[in-house]
Every structure is written in C-alpha cells, then in structure tokens.
Chains A and B, each alone.
Chain A
Amino acid sequence: DAKTTQPNSMESNEEEPVHLPCNHSTISGTDYIHWYRQLPSQGPEYVIHGLTSNVNNRMASLAIAEDRKSSTLILHRATLRDAAVYYCILKYNNNDMRFGAGTRLTVKP
C-alpha cells in the first residue's frame, strides 16, 4: 500500500551529515510528505513534514524536489542516537498514514 520507495539500509559516520532519500513518483498535489523514525524498542517519532517547500526544524531538514516526486531527509550531524528506521510517508487530508519498510540507518562511531 505504501506509495514511497526508500533504500533498505544506509550507513553513516558519527558527526557527518546523512541524506536519506525517498521516491514518491505518484504523489498528488494534496499529499504531504512526512518523515518518522523508530528507535529500537520505541514507538515511532515524528521528525518533519512538508508540502512543496523545503522545511527545517530542530531535528532535521526536508528537501523536496521541484516536481515533488522525491524528497530527502537531512540529518546535519548524525549521532549514535540517530540510529533508527526512518519512514517516509505520504499523507493526504482525511486519510490514514501507511508505513512502508523504511530505511534502517546505522551510525558508526
């Protein structure tokens, strides 16, 4: 059911930036792009979301392609605590959130 495609896994070094890609080629004009992450043994945690413009918050940045068919979650300086499964989800008004398999991020010290 998921309409997004993400790499199964990625690795990063601690204190380096991480770019997590997501493809959503069938996105519609009313779909928001959401990112969540799930740390081991915890519930998913909201990271960031956007519609058309790039977005920044204290956790991350979201870069959205001009055609909106892809997006990238940017962690500016990865820490060991950022090791998690990252989910990219399309969410539209009055509809549910369906998660795909996500990207498992490993952060190496």
Chain B
Amino acid sequence: DSGVTQTPKHLITATGQRVTLRCSPRSGDLSVYWYQQSLDQGLQFLIQYYNGEERAKGNILERFSAQQFPDLHSELNLSSLELGDSALYFCASSVETGGGTEAFFGQGTRLTVV
C-alpha cells in the first residue's frame, strides 16, 4: 500500500459525459502528479500540482482540468468524454518536488467510455 488513494477504482460512462477522479496523497506529501495510461501504452504525464499551485503541464487536453485543494487532495475533471479517453488514470504524490524525491503512485482509476 503506497498510501495514495484514488477513487473510484472503476468508472463506466457514456461519450459526452463529464467525470471527476479523486486523489488523496500520502500524509504530508505536497506534490501531486496525474498520468494517463491507455491500453498497452506508456504513462503520459498530464499535470503536476505543488501545495495548491500548478507546477507543470504535460499532454493534457483542453477538455481535461485539475486542481489541488487546501487539504492537498486533488481532482482530475474530464469532460466531453470520447471513446479514446478510456484509460487508466494514475495519481502520484511526493513530499516535495526536488530531483531526489521519490513519488508514490495510487492503484489508478480505470475509466471506460462507452
């Protein structure tokens, strides 16, 4: 158990809908990362937050947005969903953003868009 909690574990929704994925970081961790992993694909970095502020942005679509709240949990919002958005979405957290800091990943949310 990494200490990072993602909910829900599974989500099935229809095209055009909007969903929210939630991530609770490890206690004391200030940084949160979001990743997308499509079937048999690598991990695509989406976005990173540190203590409530956006720190880095990767290949995140305009239909997707995220935020980190004062209690440090984070939410990834996916809207106007398309079939191609079906994927595993992982959240990771780390205590800070330094190069020597390891990150801990949750078990992911499996999103299926039908």
- A residues with a Cβ closer than 8 A to B are 1, 30-32, 34, 36, 38, 42-46, 49, 51, 87, 91-102
Contacts and interface: CB of A to CB of B under 8 A. Distances in A.
B98 interface: yes
A101 B41 CA distance: 8
A42 B105 CA distance: 9
Interface of B: 2, 4, 33, 35, 42-43, 45, 48, 55-56, 58, 90, 92, 97-108
Contact of A93 (B90, B97, B106, B108): B97
Given A43-B2, A44-B90, A92 B58 contact: no
Contacts of A100: 42
A100 B101 CA distance: 19
Nearest to B41: A101
Contacts of B108: 43
Interface of B, helix, strand, loop or mixed by DSSP: loop
B43 A99 contact: yes
A38 B92 CA distance: 13
Nearest to A31: B99
A91 B99 contact: yes
B58 A43 contact: no
A98 B100 contact: no
